[in-house]
Amino acid sequence: QVQLVESGGGLVQPGGSLRLSCTFSGFTANYYTVGWFRQAPGKEREGVSCIMGYAGRTSYADSVKGRFTISRDSAKNTVYMQMNTLKPEDTGVYYCAVQPGILGECRLQRLYNYWGQGTQVTVSS
């Protein structure tokens, strides 16, 4: 049974930091692609970052480059996203998604079959 559990969301002031975690289980593939997506109120869900393959290749949306860092602990089947210098426009529900194998465009949500329940991130003073 596939399970994805996200944690780490919350309320933070502008300029603050949060670390999101995504722990997954129930997969049997050797390699995975894991993506973080977010959906702001009234907006479509967008790809924020992703990590994949043996080398852990990463990709970031332009809006978060230099502020967010995705990493993983393969032994724990957990992917993290460290979010620094948060802005009000980073507010939204953050979802992790997992897909066995290596995706060519890992920030495309349509390529993922497995999704977490989401965790709320609110950046406000």
pLDDT tens per residue across span 3-27: 999 999 999 999 999 999 999 998 8
Residue of higher predicted confidence among 79 and 105: 79
Mean pLDDT of 77-99: 97
Three-state SS string over 59-102 comes to EECCCCCCCEEEEEEHHHCEEEEEECCCCHHHCEEEEEEEEECC
Q: What is the pLDDT of residues 20-65, one digit of tens each?
A: 999 999 888 878 899 999 999 999 999 999 999 888 899 999 999 9
Question: Whose CA is closest to 81, among 114, 110, 121?
Answer: 121
Beta strand pairing call for 119-123 and 114-115: unpaired
Residue of higher predicted confidence among 103 and 49: 49
Give the pLDDT of residue 102: 86
Mean pLDDT of 90-105: 93
